[in-house]
Copies of this chain bind each other. A is one copy, B any other.
Amino acid sequence: MKDGLLTDRQMEVLRYRKQGLTQQQIADIISTSKANVCTIEKSAMENIRRAKETLEFLYTLDATQLCTVPTGTDLFEVPSIIFREAEKINVKVKYDTISLINRLRESRAQCCKARQVCEDIVVYITDQGEIYFG
């Protein structure tokens, strides 16, 4: 009822990891196998990923859908698409071309193969010009 997503075990492993210990060393400390430490660490990372995704969803809740960038679009064309659409609804995008591409790659790495968008990407925008990728 109180805690976050991570279990005690998961936090424990992450803390030891941050200190630079190997999985084997941690396994010895908490008396289990290194394979187990690996899976605990992995599921911790998965939980963190899900936490991030959850908050992203929250943002899209008070953002409106701007447009969809279709599969196959050249990565470098994405910003101008976004700028054009934002102009239509009279919102000034908060980012420049480079920042937009970086943001896209950070939040949707799976969608960016080389210079191509390899999955349809829904773009959201807030009144303040904040951009999210759905």
Binding site for B on A (CB under 8 A): 3-6, 11, 14-15, 18, 47-48, 50-58, 61-62, 109, 126, 128, 130
Which chain B positions have C-beta within 8 A of A53? 3-5
Bound CA–CA A109/B61 (angstroms): 15
Determine if B57 and A55 form an interchain contact, defined as CB atoms under 8 angstroms apart: no
The interface residues of chain A, by DSSP majority, are classed as: helix
Determine if A4 and B56 form an interchain contact, defined as CB atoms under 8 angstroms apart: yes
Which chain B positions have C-beta within 8 A of A54? 4-6, 47-48, 51
* Sample (24) of A-B pairs whose CB atoms are under 8 Å apart: A3-B50, A3-B53, A4-B50, A4-B53, A4-B54, A4-B57, A5-B5, A5-B54, A6-B54, A11-B57, A14-B61, A18-B62, A47-B54, A48-B54, A48-B55, A48-B58, A50-B51, A51-B51, A51-B52, A51-B55, A55-B55, A109-B126, A109-B128, A109-B130
